[in-house]
Amino acid sequence: MSYAEKELAPGLVMHLCPRTMLGKGAKVTCAPQFMVQGFHFFLVLDVGAKRCRLAPLYSEPGHGRVAISTQGRTGHPLWLNGTFHYHVEQLWDVSKPVVRQAAKAAHDQSQPGVRNLLDPAFIPAV
């Protein structure tokens, strides 16, 4: 499904295509060999006038990964009940139009009104 630009807000969890984002000017804080590969869930950390700051989410713990709170979640049961982590050294800076294109490329299945969300009070400070 597609996202309206006004839906891009801190706490939104989206299924995105990293290749689409990288091919259209995304900036990533980690070395290329450490970037997520393939379609991946991302948490929107911050939104500016033209760009979004995102963190890819991992289902497994690992070196440098920090757990995302299970409190403050709404949306699909897999998001509500799953275990998710982010890596403090892998943050993505992507333009809003490209984020929306990357969701379409990754076949994001969420629907308006029932998006996967994390209450902004529980968004990690990075």
Residue 57 Rama label (left phi>0; alpha psi -120 to 50; beta): beta
| Terminal Cα distance for the chain, rounded | 29
What CA–CA distance (Å, rounded) separates 110 from 29?
Answer: 27
Residue tagged 């450490």 (tokens): 34
* pLDDT tens digits in sequence order for the chain, 126 residues long: 688 889 999 999 999 999 999 999 999 999 999 999 999 999 999 999 999 999 999 999 999 999 999 999 999 999 999 999 999 999 999 999 999 999 999 999 888 888 999 999 999 888
pLDDT attached to residue 83: 95
> Taking the model in full, what pTM does it have?
0.94
Helix H or strand E encompassing 44: strand 40-47
